Structure formats: structure tokens, C-alpha cells
A and B are shown apart, each in its own frame.
Chain A
């Protein structure tokens, strides 16, 4: 794969409206193969809606999404998954009647063109993926026996088992404590090291700074800022969007205080 090739994922003025509200409003950015890109933004900024647009759950009201140069706008979710775009859900959606291992295996049974195995091989791949995310000891457990951090791991495992080229992570760190976040960060880096591009939505700033090379800030459905995480987080408009105008003003007059 040459560096001059088309970006892996390309969004051009992507728009999604719910009634009169534009949840995603003319968003344009691209993701290159092998990157870890973070999307941040206050609640209701349209982050999850954007992921739903990419994975085909929402139909676009405007703009275009391209995957390796070809438009995927209007494709049903299963075809987008087969192209190699995997995702997790913010509120985990495990297959409750299955064991941990079966959940991961279903990802390998279907998934991208690289996955799609017969049941026996799917279970082998599932074991491998569970090891990768650190769930191998709980492979035979029912999902109901898992803790919240483990359920988030399972959500990632199932997506990774589909053998994606691009993994969309929707707030996998939300609700985790600091120790758990460290473990989850390590997991994301392990997955990335296997050659998977990662686009993640996060609220926890530490994650964005710790793992992303590039961050995109969304506010009211629009791209507010884009660039290296450290510089983006110092951006005046970003601080305003997150913490309100008053805080930004105070910070201007008293530059000694910590950023967000």
C-alpha cells in the first residue's frame, strides 16, 4: 500500500438531520490507513450519530462517505461490515444467551471478507481474539457473569473478530476507573498493532492525548477543530465548547490554571 493512495475513509460534507435538527452538519475529514484518530466533543455534539452514519445504521441526508475511494453511502450495515469496517456500541450490546466465546465467534463467522469462517475455525479465531483483549480466562462464562469493563472488552473482541481494517470505537472507556482505563488503552494499542486503523469517540481526555495522533473536535454537529491532541485541547473554541464561555474568559485572564 503506497502512501499516495486514497485515504482509507473519507467523509465529505456528511449531514444527518433528525426532524429540523442537523445532528451531523457538513462534516468533512479523512482517516489514513494505520492511524489512531480520536473524535471528541461535548454531549450531543453528534459523535455517535457520525459513527452510525459511517457504519450504515443511519442513511445520510447529504454528503458522501468513501471507503478506499468508493462511495459507501446508502449501503446497508452488513455490507459495510463486510468491507472491513467494524464497530462497538457505547451501550454494550452483547448477545446475552451466548457465552463470551460464542459472542466473539459470531464476529468471526460473519464479519469482513477476511473473516467469514466455518464454525470450527471461527471458534479458533475467537480464542485468539479473546486472548488479545484479555478475556481468555472468561471464555466459557455467560455474558451475564461479566463486569462492566469486561463487557466493554467483549464488545471490542466481537468487533475485532470480524477482522476489520477500520475499527470504530464508541466510548469504550466511559464508566471505567483509572486502572481500567489504562488496561483498555493497552488493549486499543494491541489491536492497533495488529494493523487495524482505529477511529475512536471518547470523553476521557486522557485517552485522546494518550493514544491518538490526531483529534477531531465536534460541536453542534460540525467540525470545530482538528489536529494534534495537545494543540486541539488548548484551542480557545474547544475550551469554550466544553467548559463554557465564562471559564474560557477566566482562563484568558489567568493563564496559570489547568486546561480541561
Chain B
């Protein structure tokens, strides 16, 4: 059965309406007070836990959208973007904790330092292609985290060492609400930047590089400059969220600012939603972050995995994520937005076709 354009338009409209309602609810629900929500029996976003999860979702929208710029649009599978998150977090964290800067003055430096770092490592790294780039960028991601934890000066850890870094609590009424909206603002910025990129000469140049780098060069695309610019832009957005995270979480260390699993998660989110698209990574971030929390048992609506003890739960969650990665790559290489748009379905013929298209 071939989906007609009409059917596609109907699906798209339904998605837009449904998505709009969900986004509106997610944005407005936190404004209602906890008590009011409980008495009205609407537990969702007014609940503290949900609230924290919603902030995380907004954070991952930025991470996935930023990865999409270098990985999805330019086609360079960066596996170490978490380095920019950590650098952003430590930039803001150090300025607040050690230099006693106010948060709002320290935050703008997070994207600046992360972007500067990306420009410096990007020049040599982006000369590599395919697997070599992926592995090298992963190396950078791991190395920066280790460096931050282990650099000592005169016997003292410079960046807080293994203990980590404690920030003074940001004194503002409704702190949770403030950081939620700050993160949502960053998410909106990331999506808007993606939208702008895809409509500009810059975006077309990046897509040309993804499709065929040599062909892009001979029509006049400065491939080196474009790749580094895309990498730097992704780093700036990722660093910005790192900066917000450091003050929101109050405590930062290697584990919570350089987690290797974030690398996999942000890529999986972009793949799940649709790489190279404006809203795909955001949609993927919402779906996957909810799933991760669900599998991790942190959601109020939880479940018991049969034959698995509570302790083994995180491991099982990782296994399920791994299986999901395989299924996504095989069946929805163009992302869920296209998949549910009616152009694809679970069939052997579709699997064969998508394998053929993605194995080129």
C-alpha cells in the first residue's frame, strides 16, 4: 500500500496538533502549584519528579539537536559531544565556585569556551572521515573528562578533582521553575538554530558535504571551514546546556558532566526522530528520555520486568536501549517522523530497501 500525499498530510496535521497540545501542557503545567495539581488530581508535571524529568528532556533536546548539526546535517558522526557539555559545565562551575561570578555572567562563557575548544580540535579531527572521525571524537570525549578530573597544580586538584565541584545554590524564588524554563529556552534556541541552518546557504553546503564531500568542494564549498563551523556551532549549544546544568544541579563531577552514555543517547535520539530534520532530534529526545526513565523505574507509572531483580534493572534498561538502537537503524533510518508519516512500515521489503539505502 502506498501512502497518498493526502494521507501524509493528514498524519502530519494530527502530529502537529497532538505535539502542540503536549508541548503547551509541558510548558504551562509547571506554573500550577503542586498543591493545586494534587487536589485537582493532575499528577503529571506539577509533580517534582516529573518536573525534573521534563527539565532533562529539554536538556536532551539541545544535546540531540546540536549533535544533529554536525552528525545529521553535515554527516560527521561525532561520538564525543559530551566533552562540550562537560566543558560548558566546568566553565560556568569554575567561574561561580572559584571566581565567585554571578550565574548569569558565568553562563555566556560556557558556549564560548566549548566552541573555542571545538574549533581547535575540529581542525585536525575533521580531516578524518567515517569511522576514523567517530573513534577519534570519542577519544576526545573521554580524554577531556579524565583531564578535568586529574589535573593538579601544586598538589591541589584544579577543577575539584575526584570530589567534584560544589556551587553555591542560586538564590531565586521557584528555582526549579527557573531552570526548567531556562532549559526550555535553550531547547527552543537549538531547534530555531537548526531551522535557520537548514534554510541557509550554510545548511545546503553542509548537506552537500554529507552527500559527497569532493563534489561539494568542486562547486565551491569551503569544506574545512564549513565542517569546523558546524562542529563549533554544535559545541556552543551543547556547552550552553552544560553551563545551565552546572548551576541547576549545584554539584558537578566527571560522572555527571562527562557521561559516555550521553554520547550514545543523543545520537540515538537524533536517529530515532530523524537526522537532518528540524524537529526530529527533539521528538527523539522526548521519546527516548521518557523511555529511559520508564525503564529505569523512576516514572510514577512504572512496571516490573519479569525475572529481573530491582538491582539488575539498570543493566536490563541498557540492553533494551541497545536492541532499540539496532531496530531503529534497521527499520527507521529516516526517523519516526517519516515512519509514522506513512511512508514506511514493518515489512521485509522495507527492511531490504532501507538497508540498501543506508549501506551506501
Contact between A81 and B219, CB atoms less than 8 A apart: yes
Contact between B211 and A110, CB atoms less than 8 A apart: no
Which residues between 183 and 223 of chain B lie within 8 Å of chain A, taking CB atoms?
Answer: 199-201, 204-205, 207-208, 210-212, 214-215, 217-223
Task: Tell me which of B205, B210, B212 contacts A109 (CB under 8 A).
Answer: B205
Contact between A87 and B207, CB atoms less than 8 A apart: no
Which residues between 41 and 79 of chain A lie within 8 Å of chain B, taking CB atoms?
Answer: 55-57, 76-78
Of the listed residues B215, B217, B222, B276, the one surrounded by the most CB atoms of chain A closer than 10 A to its CB is: B215
Q: Which of A111-119, A172-180, A214-222, A238-246 contacts B (4 or more CB under 8 A)?
A: A111-119
Which A residues are in CB contact (< 8 Å) with B205?
106, 109-110
Total CB contacts across the A-B interface at under 8 A: 81
B 234-259 to A, binary, CB cutoff 8 A, 1 in contact else 0: 00000000000000000000000000
Give bound CA distance, A34 to B276, whole Å: 42
Contact between B218 and A81, CB atoms less than 8 A apart: yes
Contact between A107 and B219, CB atoms less than 8 A apart: yes
Contact between B211 and A98, CB atoms less than 8 A apart: yes
Assess A118 versus B214: contact at CB under 8 Å? Given A78-B220, A81-B219. Answer: no
Contact between A81 and B220, CB atoms less than 8 A apart: yes
Which B residues are in CB contact (< 8 Å) with A86?
218-219
Q: Does A159 contact B (CB under 8 A)?
A: yes
Give bound CA distance, A105 to B200, whole Å: 12
Of the listed residues B201, B223, B224, the one surrounded by the most CB atoms of chain A closer than 10 A to its CB is: B201
Assess A162 versus B201: contact at CB under 8 Å? Given A95-B208, A106-B208. Answer: no
Interface of B is mostly: helix
Contact between A81 and B217, CB atoms less than 8 A apart: yes
Which chain B residue shows the least CB distance to A111? B220
Which A residues are in CB contact (< 8 Å) with B215?
89, 93-95, 158
A 81-95 to B, binary, CB cutoff 8 A, 1 in contact else 0: 110001101000111
Contact between B204 and A109, CB atoms less than 8 A apart: yes
Contact between A162 and B219, CB atoms less than 8 A apart: yes
Contact between A82 and B211, CB atoms less than 8 A apart: no
Which B residues are in CB contact (< 8 Å) with A118?
201
Interface range on chain A (Cβ under 8 Å from partner)? 20 to 34
Give bound CA distance, A97 to B360, whole Å: 12
Task: Tell me which of B207, B214, B276 contacts A93 (CB under 8 A).
Answer: B214
A 153-190 to B, binary, CB cutoff 8 A, 1 in contact else 0: 00000110010000000000000000000000000000
Give bound CA distance, A79 to B221, whole Å: 9
Contact between B212 and A110, CB atoms less than 8 A apart: no
Task: Tell me which of B201, B211, B224, B360 contacts A95 (CB under 8 A).
Answer: B211
Q: Does A20 contact B (CB under 8 A)?
A: no
Which chain B residue shows the least CB distance to A80? B218
Give bound CA distance, A248 to B220, whole Å: 45
Contact between A97 and B276, CB atoms less than 8 A apart: yes
Nearest CB of B to A140, in Å: 13
Contact between A162 and B220, CB atoms less than 8 A apart: yes
Contact between A112 and B218, CB atoms less than 8 A apart: no
Contact between A110 and B276, CB atoms less than 8 A apart: no
Q: Does A255 contact B (CB under 8 A)?
A: no
Nearest CB of A to B227, in Å: 12
Which A residues are in CB contact (< 8 Å) with B222?
76, 78
Which A residues are in CB contact (< 8 Å) with B200?
119
Assess A95 versus B207: contact at CB under 8 Å? Given A109-B201, A110-B201, A118-B201. Answer: yes
Give bound CA distance, A102 to B219, whole Å: 13
Contact between A77 and B208, CB atoms less than 8 A apart: no
Task: Tell me which of A81, A96, A111 contacts B211 (CB under 8 A).
Answer: A96
Contact between B219 and A159, CB atoms less than 8 A apart: yes
Task: Tell me which of B201, B211, B223, B360 contacts A78 (CB under 8 A).
Answer: B223
Which B residues are in CB contact (< 8 Å) with A89?
214-215
Assess A93 versus B212: contact at CB under 8 Å? Given A81-B217, A81-B219. Answer: yes
Which A residues are in CB contact (< 8 Å) with B276?
97
A to B CB contacts below 8 Å, 28 in the list: A77-B214, A77-B217, A78-B220, A80-B218, A81-B217, A81-B218, A89-B215, A93-B212, A93-B214, A94-B211, A94-B212, A95-B207, A95-B211, A95-B215, A96-B360, A97-B210, A97-B211, A98-B211, A106-B207, A107-B219, A110-B208, A110-B221, A112-B220, A118-B201, A119-B200, A119-B201, A162-B219, A162-B220
A residues lining the B interface (CB < 8 Å) = 55-57, 76-78, 80-82, 86-87, 89, 93-98, 102, 105-107, 109-112, 115-116, 118-119, 122, 158-159, 162
> When A and B form their complex, which 7 residue pairs have the shortest distance between CB atoms, in order from nearest?
A110-B220, A81-B220, A95-B211, A77-B217, A93-B215, A93-B212, A78-B222
